[in-house]
Amino acid sequence: MNRSQDVVHRAVGRAGIVLVAEGNPNRVKTLLAAEKKRMSRVVVDVPVHDIIVGDGEGQVPLKKIRTTMLKMPRVLTGPQVTAANDRLRAMGDLMSNMPLPKGPMPKGMRMPRGGKMR
């Protein structure tokens, strides 16, 4: 996700890894490329597909995402899907991009008392 609220979702299944992107197609392509690169480093032998949601040319409408994903060729077996999903989950824990507050942590700050109304 970026500041413009463009989002890339990840789905792991028999077809491999499917990245579903929402947002402006020009900005989303860079997010997709970066995410594909991360996926290829962690899970080498799994195919990575990408889908851009939208109504334009080369995009898939939101209603048809499910059917588009179901039509993809099934390449992986059940244990391979589980192994790939476990590796990606572990990568997410190690490389989480949680925003941290800037500046020093406040010390000695009092909690506001509530309720005294006159």
Residues in the chain: 118
Mean pLDDT computed over every residue of the chain = 82
**How many whole angstroms separate alpha carbon 37 and alpha carbon 73?**
22
In angstroms and rounded to an integer, the radius of gyration of the C-alpha atoms of the chain is 20
pLDDT digits (tens, 9 = 90+) for 45-72: 899 999 999 898 889 999 999 999 999 9
pTM above 0.85, yes or no: no
Backbone angle region of 115, left / alpha / beta, with phi > 0 → left and psi within -120 to 50 → alpha: left
Please determine, for residue 95, whether its predicted confidence score (pLDDT) is greater than 50: no
Nearest CA to 85 out of 8, 17, 9, 33 is that of 17
**How many whole angstroms separate alpha carbon 74 and alpha carbon 92?**
25
Q: What is the pLDDT of residue 94?
A: 45
Please determine, for residue 96, whether its predicted confidence score (pLDDT) is greater than 60: no
pLDDT digits (tens, 9 = 90+) for 5-34: 788 888 999 999 999 999 888 888 888 998
- In 4-105, at which residue ranges do the beta strands (DSSP E only) sit? 7-13, 16-22, 48-52
Q: What is the pLDDT of residue 82?
A: 92
Please determine, for residue 80, whether its predicted confidence score (pLDDT) is greater than 80: yes
